[in-house]
Amino acid sequence: MLTGIFVQSAAKEELFCDVVLSWEQAGHELCVLHGLKGYPERYDIAKDVDLISDDPAQLLRILYQGTTASIVRAIEGSHNVPYTLYLHRQRNGKHTFLELDIWTECRSEQHVFFQGEEILKTCRRFEYFKVPAPELECTCYLLRRLMKGLDQTRVQRLSELYAEDPSGCTMRLARFFPKKEAALIAEAAHNGDWAPVFRQLEHLRRVMLERVGREQPQGRLRLWLGAVRTRVKNYVQPEGVLVAVLGTDGAGKSTVTARVERDLAPAFLSTKRYHRPVASALRWTKRYRARANSGGPTQADARSAPSNTPTQPPRKLPASLLKLGLWWADYTVLGYLLDTYPRLTTSTLVLLDRYYEDLLVSPEFYRYGGPLWLARLIGRFIPRPDLTILLDAPPEVIQAHKRELPFEETTHQREMYLRVMKGTSNGHVVDASKPFDEVEGEVERIILGYLADRAALRLGLREP
């Protein structure tokens, strides 16, 4: 369908096309807000697409009930956008993610410029979807860019839209600007010389906001309250996800988490992968002491896990109990509350290839000499990952990958991991003896399935 566009962009365009057609076939009215110059030959869905809809909730239901794409993340009210959707589809083993901002009106974070009904009733057909009338798209685009920032590339598009309907654009501008300022913008759009506008950007922004503010005295407060509500909701129900991938040495944890981080990154604002349980002040203190003793960077600075070969005997009971308390503080306060949870609230994919279960499986490797029942009890008060995935394989397979442990110890650890997973409500066991692509694909399917279920639940599309 597309020529001269990267394969991933083509896959996004195909997904976008299928989604729009599924909505239109269901009888739903919508239009793409702006930014479609040169489509399809030169239009690249690089980041997101802004849509206008009179009923965003209906769009969600259509997607959920269909098979076109799955909603893996849905943010309500972010920057006053009713919904920001992250859609996913997999074909031929390749993931495609698409971000959609669904609006009910053209607005900034503080004020409404045009109601969605006004835009939808005047929109026009363009390819397989609809776009606003030129004068509406031009004016809305200008107003939003005045709030976000105007540059030479964007004013070129404004001139093109103005040329399609000069009188209509001039009439719309008069609604938001005094006569002198509206004439200045119209002349710049007509001549293509925007230098006078750039020199008066602050003034134009101020007079526009004054006029809109008089028309909508409560609008700014209403949108501000909506933004506060969204921030609180995102903190209580973070959009990020914490995944712990467990397994004996040689199961492929590091390789799998690295591939998952790469493949699923487009579904999140950021990613973070730890090769140890969590980052915390305790671990930074340990690294600092190691540097001071050696005079430079040490193995502790690398993303390596603790050695699986015990070199010292277990600590005595008092020291073990103190260490267990420090582990609790490490995982719960210094690691989770101060580092991991803030990342989750900012839509981060956090991947761990070790977690507290490692202590229960191999206490001797952590020099824990206390009662195991106490370690299990403390584990109940440690924040749980959203997903716990065990890479499991017969000892013979593990030994073929990595012979760091004796065969008997590998067998023992495998049995202990399986036992621990039986008591994990959000646990999944993946057969790591299969080819790597199948193992990695299964882990990604588990994570994406969890995301889709969580989004549907939070959006009220399915019962708990």
**Residue 203 CA: distances (Å) to CA of 117, 176, 294, 296, 452:** 30, 13, 60, 56, 46
Tokens of 263: 């493949």
The CATH architecture to which 240-458 belongs is 3-Layer(aba) Sandwich (3.40)
Q: Where are the domains positioned within the chain? A: 7-232, 240-458
Say which DSSP state 46 is in: -
Q: Among 52-66, 78-92, 210-224, which is the least confidently predicted range?
A: 210-224
If residue 329 lies in a helix (H) or strand (E), which one and from where to where?
helix 317-329
Map tokens 């882990």 to a residue: 443
pLDDT band of 36, cuts 50, 70, 90: low
| Rg for the chain, CA atoms, rounded | 28
pLDDT band at 45 (very low <50, low <70, confident <90, very high): low
Q: Closest Cα partner for 303 from 330, 331, 276, 271?
A: 276
Q: Give pLDDT, residue 78.
A: 64
The answer to whether 82 and 103 are in contact (CB under 8 A) is: yes
pLDDT at 175: 92
Percent of the chain clearing pLDDT 90 (strictly above): 47
* Mean per-residue pLDDT, 359-376: 90
Which of the 8 DSSP states describes residue 79?
G
pLDDT at 249: 86
Instruction: Tell me the two tokens of residue 120.
Output: 């939808």
Query: How far is C-alpha 138 from the chain's CA centre?
Result: 30
Q: Scanning the structure block, which residue is given the tokens 């952590």?
A: 366
382: left (phi > 0), else alpha (psi -120 to 50), else beta?
beta
Q: CA–CA distance from 418 to each of 2, 68, 130, 248, 414 (Å)?
A: 49, 36, 54, 11, 6
Query: Which residue shows structure tokens 């009179």?
Result: 54
Nearest-angstrom CA–CA distance, 327 and 333: 10
Cβ-based neighbour number of residue 221 at 10 Å: 11
Rounded to an integer, what distance in angstroms lies between the CA atom of residue 454 and that of residue 464? 9
**pLDDT one-digit tens code per residue, 184-243:** 999 999 999 999 999 999 999 999 988 888 876 666 666 667 667 777 877 888 999 999
DSSP codes joined into one string, 195-206? HHHHHTHHHHHH
Q: Is 1 a residue whose pLDDT tops 90?
A: no
What per-residue confidence (pLDDT) applies to 89? 95
pTM here is 0.84
Most confident residue range from 49-53, 119-123, 449-453, 457-461? 449-453
